[in-house]
Structure 1
Amino acid sequence: MSETLPAAVTEETLTVSDVASRLSIPVSRVHQLVREGHLLSLKHGGEVVVPAVFLDGNDVVRGLSGTISVLRDGGYDNREILTWLFTEDESLPGSPIGAISAGRHKEVKRRAQAMAF
């Protein structure tokens, strides 16, 4: 799956069990967070991983799940969402996930809403 995604998506990843450990939740709850759209995962190197930038310490980055929901509601699949989140955008500047991580999630969500409709 990762061959068509920007390299930054797989640059630093965490296994599902690493995510569970950081969030202090069971592995099954991490899978539930992915199913519910709070996180995105991908297969890389034969295992399911989550981009490390999706976590801020012991929490999911604020604003990530809302952005994922807006894009899913707009018809984007997980691959397209991952690609968009990690693609550099001169107008931000940087990538949408970088802006979300920097606390500019409302700006990113507005852009996602505009794209989705």
Structure 2
Amino acid sequence: MTDAADQEIAWIFIQHGQWEESGPEVIMEGDRLEAIEFTWEPRERLNQGFEMIGTLSNMFARYYAEHTIDEREIVQLRAPLRPNWFAPLVSSDRISEALPLWKMIQQADYSSIE
């Protein structure tokens, strides 16, 4: 993954998503270390052809808790502001071969209200 926006999105998912790390896996070329590969996977597969990483609200809540809570005790009330943090995720025209994402948007159905 070489695109900076893909890397930022992946890092958000790694740090604040609901998947779990499996690995690391060492990749060797003869006796030379080529790479160390880390993989994140869903805790439980639902086998629907896609898996949820988490909701944006949950990821933001985890980010906030990471900066304000220590050992179940509130240590500060403010987390560092990151105004463009979700920009690559919410962009409607973003398409990535390396990081294909399904974006699901929940909206109220006002058609049944009189």
TM-score in terms of structure 2 length: 0.27
* Bigger RCO (CA 8 Å, 6+ sep): 1
The two structures have a TM-score, normalised by structure 1, of 0.27
Structure with greater helix percent: 1
Larger Rg: 2
